[in-house]
Amino acid sequence: GKRVGQYELKSKLGKGTFGTVYLGKHIPSKNKIAIKMISRQGLRADQQNRLEQEIVCQRSVDSEYVVKLIDVQKTDNNFYLILEYCSGGDLGQFITQNGPVEESIARRWMQHIIEGFKALRAKNIIHRDMKLQNILLTEASTSATLKLADFGMSRFLDDDLAQSWLGTPLYMAPEMFRWKEGYDAKADIWSLGVVFYEILTGEAPFNAKRREEIPHAQKKLKSLPANLSPLCQDLLTRMLSYDPKTRISFEELFEHPFILPPKEDEY
Ligand code: ADP
Ligand code: MG
Ligand code: MG
């Protein structure tokens, strides 16, 4: 395949909004890596800016639960982000192929995702594009480790509330549709709540056939599956609180009894 620096491009792994992601090889070590190729042609100034944010944010996080950005290469035509390879693909593919998972698996997966978010919080980063397609698996099985990916919409949260309108409508928090209001890290929690609901049920938590219907549909969520434990239902309900003020915070989320592993002295 094509060579870029010390890397060789192989088969295509996925395609997103700007980038095409390839399986690749670090030639000296023969290690597998993923290569996200972004064409420089027609890249607008704001898109270039966002790419820079993606690089700075992803580089600054160091966690087992966040995909590592290993290297960046630039040629006349393209940017290449060299990423830690996750052979299990993304959660969207996994749920499509295997269907929703049991609560015990969803719990472990949420523990991974939330560990990843702890690392983001430590650097004051909001992700803003949390969805099944942006969470990767280290292997194609329920025992995989999950890793947060795609920092293309992320930024450091300063004192100002963010106001840009971006993300994927299905996962956008209610307050993001009312963009004049501004939104903060709690918008990530809403998106994560949608992810949580999807991995448990294989469906979105509200009924909307078209994106225009989403802001209204978000006001009336589907009822939760009755087979879920009370703690699981409590967490889901609090993550998908319409009002960001009453929505669970990250600090509370990290301590929620559904997420917290049992203390050793409880055995
Ligand atoms: P975009 O910003 O265009 O959405 P992503 O970074 O989300 O690009 O990558 C698009 C898709 O490529 C992902 O949804 C996933 O299926 C696949 N992919 C991305 N990074 C990796 C990786 N490190 N390992 C394996 N697959 C990946
Ligand atoms: Mg993506
Ligand atoms: Mg992206």
pLDDT for residue 175? 85
Least confident of 95-99, 232-236, 257-261: 257-261
CB 168 within 8 A of CB 210: no
Does the C-beta of 24 come closer than 6 Å to ligand 1?
A: no
Among residues 104, 145, 101, 154, which one has the least CA distance to residue 125?
Answer: 154
Q: Show Cβ contacts of residue 237 under 8 Å, excluding neighbours closer than 6 positions.
A: 224
Ligand number with the minimum distance to the CA of 18 = 1
- Rounded (5°) CA angle 53-58-62: 150
The mean pLDDT of 112-141, rounded to a whole number, is: 96
Whole-prediction pTM value? Answer: 0.93
Chain mean position to CA 208: 22
User: How close is the Cα of 189 to the center of ligand 2, in Å?
Assistant: 17
Neighbours of 197 (CB within 10 A): 23
In this structure, which residues have their CB less than 5 angstroms from ion ligand 3? 150, 152
- HEC profile for the chain? CCEECCEEEEEEEEECCCCEEEEEEECCCCEEEEEEEEECCCCCHHHHHHHHHHHHHHHHCCCCCECCEEEEEECCCEEEEEEECCCCCEHHHHHHHHCCCCHHHHHHHHHHHHHHHHHHHHCCEECCCCCHHHEEECCCCCCCCEEECCCCCCEECCCCCECCCCCCHHHCCHHHHCHHHCECCHHHHHHHHHHHHHHHHCCCCCCCCCHHHHHHHCCCCCCCCCCCCHHHHHHHHHHCCCCCCCCCCHHHHHHCCCCCCCCHHHC
* pLDDT band of 158, cuts 50, 70, 90: low
Q: Which residue's structure tokens are 């702890």?
A: 118
Report the 10 Å Cβ neighbour count for 113.
Answer: 21
Q: Of 9-23, 173-187, 236-250, which gets the smallest average pLDDT?
A: 173-187
Nearest ligand 1 atom to alpha carbon 90: 16
- Say which ligand is closest to the CA of 36: 1
Active site residue 76: no
* pLDDT tens digit sequence for 45-87: 999 999 999 999 999 999 999 999 999 999 999 999 999 999 9
- Is the confidence at residue 167, as pLDDT, over 60? yes
| Cα-to-centroid distance, 234 and ligand 3 (Å) | 31
Distance 7 CA to ligand 2 centre (A): 22
**pLDDT at position 176:** 82
pLDDT of res. 12: 97
pLDDT in tens, 203-226: 999 999 999 999 999 999 999 999
Say what the pLDDT of residue 164 is. 64
Catalytic residue among 129, 158, 160, 234: 129
Which ipTM value was assigned to this complex?
A: 0.99
Rounded mean pLDDT of 154-167? 69
- Tell me if 138 CB under 6 Å of ligand 1: no
* More confident site: 19 or 119: 119
Q: Is there an atom of ligand 1 within 6 Å of 135 CB? A: no
Please indicate whether residue 152, judged by its CB atom, sits closer than 6 Å to ligand 1: yes
Rounded Cα distance between 121 and 129, Å, is: 15
Across 152-170, average pLDDT: 74
pLDDT in tens, 29-48: 999 999 999 999 989 999 99
**pLDDT tens digit sequence for 14-33:** 987 778 999 999 999 999 99
Name the residue at shortest CA distance from atom 26 of ligand 1: 89
Give the nearest ligand 1 atom to 19 CA.
3
Residues forming beta bridges with residue 24, ordered by sequence position = 9, 33
